[in-house]
Chain A
């Protein structure tokens, strides 16, 4: 056992007491004088032209805001210019915003919204990936059925395939996942002295600022965005908050009032981004020694009606889908398909959960096909330090997959359980394993090309140090861990470091709070700024900044998809044990175990919180969280119907950290926020497969699906 580094010693969350006592003021706790509320009118059709919008007679104090009020550009600024803030003459998904009504009484606003009539001319809607790909007319986006299409090669797959002794093929399907954060989308906009200030629930204050500048057509100096205490994000507050923020701001401008826009739960589930459903085909080609010599993988994701982040999510999917394995010859392709449904977007894992589900189940299936122990089979293909990744990037930091695997197998008693009889008391028991990674930070060179993060430290006369970053505190502990890095580096008590919620008016842009980048990238910059400050510590006032510099020797070619897809990787393995009831087909999780290499944990208690939360969310994705669409409309629009695990559904989760130091991260830390979610579902699915003896190819593994498999499988 390694001795714990001082940075890893739990310090207590700095936002703990304000949240535990209820003192923290969330958006809905605020009531500025004269505040108006706002409600959104949304499309009830998956695809239609808007012929007319008929308003009822409105009371004097109710004001309508729509596309006509967008003085700047009516386009949400994310990657592709296709999604409007307000639909103008066409709607492309059920739930798309058409207008906002604002006034003093929320009940009255709801009645007004319900009484507005929209004349639609319905167009043929595209509702599934298959429908999209078979379309030759009525295409949603441009002249092809997808927003983006990528392909990359490694080695010479065609020649290798020709030489293969055996080939094994699989097709996998995964469903939506809803972030189900506790606090729905909430924004409060206020205009004062020509400056628009928007406060609310968000992960990325500078994305919201960008959106406001674009919609309002205002200079940066006239726009200010402040994150409030936020009840969870999980990716759902990465790009989406730009829309309610702009709506609230436009309403505030038009009424001259502070305007609060809060979604109710049904609305939030219906119209905000979710995890991409996917269809993934994997074909492995093996030589006579049971070694994989080539692989062909095709990924299709359901992007919904607008491109949003689907391109970047797809990149992560196709870079992750080869798994933790060294295969010399690869052909990987991916397409993000356009459908008339709510846009899919960011969700913890960002394409990883679908990818690792597919590759890990496929590894199980191949092992079974050739009659080899699935763990042994994996081990003979594990990536190692110094290897080239699927995209040809070099694995510079240690890769401890063997140690991680051995650790989780010992912890869970995997081999013993896998080989014992499986039917105590008529229940079917099974145990499953998964191994996975998560690339930390933005894909490729985007940390340099798109974000270019900065952080600032200021020391006052009283020797307190103010830390200015744009990393949002979402309950994950960002404020605490970043402050710890500053305190440790400056060798001062943690209480001497002050870090508030990000405010674009005072903080430099250290980038969004996404992509498991906060510790690796922002934490590293905090450490560098602190080191600089240390040199000037004796000066009365001292301000230091540090800027992201793309590390030497790294490179990535976006067009060819070659080079270092990520700055750093974090690794993990999970084991899940289940019991399937042969009458009700329900799956009871008996145990979940994990080993992760997140490098040095910056605070072991906060890291444990990420493990418990991430794995629980991953287990929910694996067996419980169903979101179906019927004619483009989500069916489970409440937390009664959209089921996330309760404390009774989650077993004890036991885990270990296998610590090998990152060459880039502060104090040797890697990233961890997303890693913890990625492997739970495939381990669970493998356990069910082991219990019922039928191949599982779909997520979530619901009772209904287990029944299907048991009958026909």
Chain B
């Protein structure tokens, strides 16, 4: 049987984590599935989903959005502070019941290759705030996630906040490809941002989900795309696609096959380059 500790505040929670090895439970939508596989296992659970300190949504002076780790996906969708380019992927996660329970922090810490919150966080260079009893760290999401289900979190540490630098001018393209239109794990996903102002194209970001052990993003390829757009036709579309092709490593599993994932992922990229970027 599991022993569940429900702390009154963040301080108590961190104290508990410092004192004993416990599994953190936020919305439980991933956790409970895993726990079901170990019936009767003895372990301590720290429940944090109710902690108000971890539910803050705010934008600071530097235009950085902070999302408390246990904000549910529904709360994020309802917040007027959260821009559309963050809401689009979230709106397609699970179903209403799942979004009411599932948290953004849980999606990050679960580190599934198919986690739908992740591509946008990679594209936006999100930073994670990790707290422990009497200590605090910040880490880039790409350093935090090491592989499927693998995160760099020390004993006693907990994710408390996700910090996302915003730009008003970001426009996003999002495609989730699943087997059905709700409650479906991504077979592959595509997230891209462009920052087009009167002075031209300022930036482009591309993140490919569910196509490698972690989200695929390449700053180098993005620079080449920018160059191509700015009239240096040295790199053609097919060459850009080939760059990404070398970075992805799709798998066969119970939901789809390697060939389909690769074809569709690169097809979405190509469509973005030709239809949105007009390269």
Q: A584, A628, A703 — which one has the most chain B CB atoms within 10 A of its CB?
A: A584
Complex contact B180–A585 (CB within 8 A): no
Q: B255, B256, B259 — which one has the most chain A CB atoms within 10 A of its CB?
A: B255
Q: Does A169 contact B (CB under 8 A)?
A: no
Complex contact A583–B40 (CB within 8 A): no
Q: Does B257 contact A (CB under 8 A)?
A: yes
Q: Does A640 contact B (CB under 8 A)?
A: yes
Q: Determine the chain B residues whose CB is within 8 A of the CB of A626 once the complex forms.
A: 179
Chain A interface main SS type = loop
Q: Which residue of A lies closest to B179 (CB)?
A: A643
User: Of A641, A646, A702, which is within 8 A of B182 by CB?
Assistant: A646
Q: Does A111 contact B (CB under 8 A)?
A: yes
Per-residue CB contact flags for chain A residues 612-640 toward chain B (1 = under 8 Å, else 0) read 00000000000010101000000110001
Complex contact B267–A645 (CB within 8 A): no
Per-residue CB contact flags for chain B residues 243-260 toward chain A (1 = under 8 Å, else 0) read 000000000001111011
Q: With contacts A111-B40, A646-B95 known, is A624 near B180, CB below 8 A?
A: yes
Q: Does A1 contact B (CB under 8 A)?
A: no
Per-residue CB contact flags for chain A residues 643-664 toward chain B (1 = under 8 Å, else 0) read 1011111000000000000000
Q: Which residue of B lies closest to A710 (CB)?
A: B263
A502 to B259, CA, bound (A): 51
Q: Does B241 contact A (CB under 8 A)?
A: no
Q: Does A291 contact B (CB under 8 A)?
A: no
Q: Determine the chain A residues whose CB is within 8 A of the CB of B177 once the complex forms.
A: 584, 586, 703
User: Of A107, A585, A641, A648, which is within 8 A of B40 by CB?
Assistant: A107
Q: Which residue of B lies closest to A646 (CB)?
A: B182
Complex contact B180–A635 (CB within 8 A): no
Q: Which residue of B lies closest to A583 (CB)?
A: B267
Q: With contacts A107-B40, A108-B40 known, is A646 near B181, CB below 8 A?
A: yes
Complex contact B185–A649 (CB within 8 A): no
Complex contact A641–B267 (CB within 8 A): no
Q: B177, B181, B182, B254 — which one has the most chain A CB atoms within 10 A of its CB?
A: B254
Q: How far is the CB of A580 from chain B (nearest CB, A)?
A: 13
Which size class do A's interface residues fall under? 20 to 34
Complex contact A584–B40 (CB within 8 A): no
Q: A111, A649, A704, A707 — which one has the most chain B CB atoms within 10 A of its CB?
A: A704
Q: Which residues of chain B from 67 to 122 have a CB within 8 Å of any chain A CB?
A: 95
Complex contact A584–B267 (CB within 8 A): yes
Q: Does A394 contact B (CB under 8 A)?
A: no
Q: How far is the CB of A629 from chain B (nearest CB, A)?
A: 11
Complex contact B271–A583 (CB within 8 A): yes
Q: Which residues of chain A from 120 to 140 have a CB within 8 Å of any chain B CB?
A: none
Complex contact B180–A641 (CB within 8 A): no
Q: Which residues of chain B from 132 to 147 have a CB within 8 Å of any chain A CB?
A: none
A649 to B180, CA, bound (A): 6
Q: How far is the CB of B252 from chain A (nearest CB, A)?
A: 10
User: Of A110, A586, A624, A628, which is within 8 A of B39 by CB?
Assistant: A110
Complex contact B181–A648 (CB within 8 A): yes
Q: How far is the CB of A410 from chain B (nearest CB, A)?
A: 29
Q: Determine the chain A residues whose CB is within 8 A of the CB of B263 once the complex forms.
A: 707
A635 to B267, CA, bound (A): 27
Complex contact A628–B254 (CB within 8 A): yes
Q: How far is the CB of B34 from chain A (nearest CB, A)?
A: 13
Per-residue CB contact flags for chain B residues 172-207 toward chain A (1 = under 8 Å, else 0) read 000101011111110100000000000000000000
Shortest 9 CB-CB distances between A and B: which pairs? A107-B40, A648-B181, A646-B182, A635-B254, A107-B39, A583-B267, A704-B260, A643-B179, A641-B254
Q: Can you report 7 residue pairs joining A to B where beta carbons are below 8 Å apart?
A: A584-B177, A584-B264, A640-B183, A646-B95, A647-B182, A649-B181, A704-B256
